[in-house]
Amino acid sequence: MAKYKIAWLPGDGIGIDVLNAAKIVLDELKLDAEYIPGEIGWEFWCKEGNALPERTIELLKKTDCCLFGAITSKPKEEAEAELDLSLKGKGYVYYSPIVKLRQLFNLRTNLRPCKAYPGNPLNYRDDIDLVVFRENTEDLYSGVEFHPLPQEVMDVLLKNHKSMKKFEKTSLDDMAVSLRIVTRKACQNIVRDAFEYAKKHKRRSVTVVEKPNVIRETSGLMIREARKIAREYPGIPLWETNIDAMCMWLVKNPQDYDVLVTSNMFGDIVSDLCAQLVGGLGFACSGNIGDDYAVFEPTHGSAPKYAGMNKVNPIATFLSAKLMLDWLRETEKANRLENAIAAVIAEGKVRAYDMGGSSTTTQVAEEVARKL
Ligand code: NAI
Ligand code: MG
């Protein structure tokens, strides 16, 4: 029996191209793993009314972790229009399978390293090495939203908060509310993950990115918990910045920052900014990590216009596989894979279109495999 069971979810569009490429590289690494394919994505929404079928969830439960490609999702109306005729009008509602996965397996930490590999013509600078820790389950993504606002919710808010007064005359239908819910436990978990990572990888600093001067309670809770936890890591300074200023600093001096930690929405934004500093979607890897399960994926989507063309850059997926190897404590293999990727980038002979080259997805994979 193989040492690891890895759920293999290509999903839609270029998710299939990049996972095929990842297979070439992982085979070369001779990871002692069984890769078990699972079904996820748009096709299953259309055919079954569920983009994340129950059998896929069962598969994930039987595996150690998962490598995931990408999925297509569409707005509500379009989703309904493409649903199989036999399922229409039966109450099927589209939800994002990746958001669902995060919640089902409590994949509470979103890890997004953004490192500039020298020789990448898309680098903003060559000395950037950022790691973003984004809380993955709460905040504005809690899914607690109202439109129109129910009268009883309005009443409770009016009764409990004087700032509601200015909305008193707005009709309930002209108002939408999305709740930003943040728990102490989640703040502690994400900050601790960031500090543990900083300690393990000998990082210089941890920066907590919030907006406590305006969003006093939720951002405030995060900052207060971060300060407490920081005391347990005396060698690693805690820096505090506001999300808006952080965006400016990242454009001005990205090399000064190291580990960033933040809540879900700000993390979504700031991690995309960081990713673009080091080459964009072709390089942006991620891990969704829980206490006993993890899903690794490139952060790009299914890029329908390139689907099946063997054209897109698979490096984001290789770097995601590298994170997976780290998580499995296959450190030697993880380092070898990263070195091979870095060598291919440095050499610059084999490049996908986004780097200005004309190599195919498979050719990039084969070159990384050769370096291994
Ligand atoms: P996208 O990330 O799929 O593609 C946007 C553009 O970025 C592409 O057209 C291409 O020019 C470039 N790009 C993406 N990946 C690349 C790669 N590996 N190498 C080189 N260039 C690359 O985002 P888009 O077009 O907004 O969304 C397409 C579909 O993907 C939508 O249905 C969306 O909902 C879904 N999506 C899924 C995600 C996921 O599976 N986690 C994340 C983001 C979008
Ligand atoms: Mg995003």
Tens digit of each residue's pLDDT (9 = 90 or more) over 82-111: 999 999 989 898 988 988 898 899 999 999
Name the residue of 72, 100, 281 whose CB sits within 8 Å of the most ligand 1 atoms, as the mutation to test its pocket: 281
Question: Which structural domains are found in the chain, ordered by start?
Answer: 1-112+284-372 (3.40.718.10), 124-135+181-277 (3.40.50.2300), 145-178 (no CATH)
Tokens encoding 212: 């406590």
Atom of ligand 1 nearest to the CA of 304: 28
Nearest alpha carbon, ligand 1 atom 11: 303
Cα 3 to ligand 1 centre (Å): 33
Task: For residue 147, report the distance from its CA to the centre of ligand 1, in Å.
Answer: 29
- Please name the residue whose Cα sits nearest to atom 4 of ligand 1: 303
Residues near 91 by Cβ (< 8 Å), separated by ≥ 6?
none
Q: Find the 311 Cα to ligand 1 centroid distance in Å.
A: 13
Q: What is the pLDDT of residues 263-307, one digit of tens each?
A: 999 999 999 999 999 999 999 999 999 999 999 999 999 999 999
Longest distance between any two alpha carbons in the chain, whole Å: 68
Q: How far is the CA of 289 from the centre of ligand 1 (A)?
A: 22
Q: How confident is the model at residue 252 (pLDDT cuts 50, 70, 90)?
A: very high
Q: Does residue 75 have a pLDDT over 90?
A: no
For ligand 1, atom 10, which residue shows the shortest CA distance?
303
pLDDT of residue 77: 86
CA 92 distance to own-chain centroid: 26
- What are the tens digits of pLDDT across the range 11-46? 999 999 999 999 999 999 999 999 999 999 999 999
- Give the atom of ligand 1 at the shortest distance from the alpha carbon of 18: 18
Average pLDDT, the chain: 96
Q: Give residue-wise pLDDT tens across range 176-205.
A: 999 999 999 999 999 999 999 999 999 999
Of all ligands present, the nearest one to the C-alpha of 275 is 2
Tokens 């078990």 map to which residue? Answer: 36
Ligand nearest to the CA of 96: 1
Which atom of ligand 1 sits closest to the CA of residue 42?
A: 32
Q: What is the mean pLDDT of residues 257-262?
A: 98
- The rounded Å distance from CA 30 to ligand 1 centre is 30
For the chain, the 3-state helix, strand and coil shares in percent, each to the nearest 5, are 45, 15, 35
Which of 243-276 are b and which e, b meaning 16 or more Cβ less than 10 Å from the residue's Cβ? beebbebbeeebeebbbbbbbbbbbbebbbbbbb
Cis preceding linkage at 148, omega within 30: yes
Task: Determine the distance separating the centroid of ligand 1 and the alpha carbon of 310, expressed in angstroms.
Answer: 15
Tens of pLDDT, residue by residue over 152-181, are 999 999 999 999 999 999 999 999 999 999
Q: Which atom of ligand 1 is nearest to the CA of 70?
A: 40
Q: Which ligand is nearest to the CA of 18?
A: 1
Q: Which of 122, 300, 359, 363 to mutate to test the pocket of ligand 1 (most atoms within 8 A of CB)?
A: 300
pLDDT at 103: 85
331-356: per-residue pLDDT in tens?
A: 999 999 999 999 999 999 999 999 99
State the average pLDDT over residues 215-240.
98
Q: Give the separation between CA 98 and CA 52, rounded to whole angstroms.
A: 8
Specify whether the CB–CB gap between 51 and 95 falls below 8 A. yes
Helix 264-277 vs helix 243-252: angle between axes, to the nearest 10 degrees? 10
Task: Say how far apart CA 294 and CA 249 lie, in whole Å.
Answer: 31
Give 268 Cα–ligand 2 centroid separation in angstroms.
Answer: 5
Residue nearest atom 23 in ligand 1 by C-alpha distance:
301
Q: Look at residue 143 and tell me whether its pLDDT is greater than 90.
A: no
Ligand 1 environment, Cβ below 6 A: 70-74, 98, 281-282, 300-305, 312-313, 316, 354
* Centroid of ligand 1 to alpha carbon of 73 (angstroms): 11
For 53-74, the pLDDT digits (tens) are 999 999 999 999 999 999 999 9
Does residue 251 have a pLDDT over 90?
A: yes
Spacing, Cα 343 to ligand 1 middle (Å): 26
- Report the nearest atom of ligand 1 relative to the CA of 71: 40
What integer is the mean pLDDT of 319-324?
A: 98
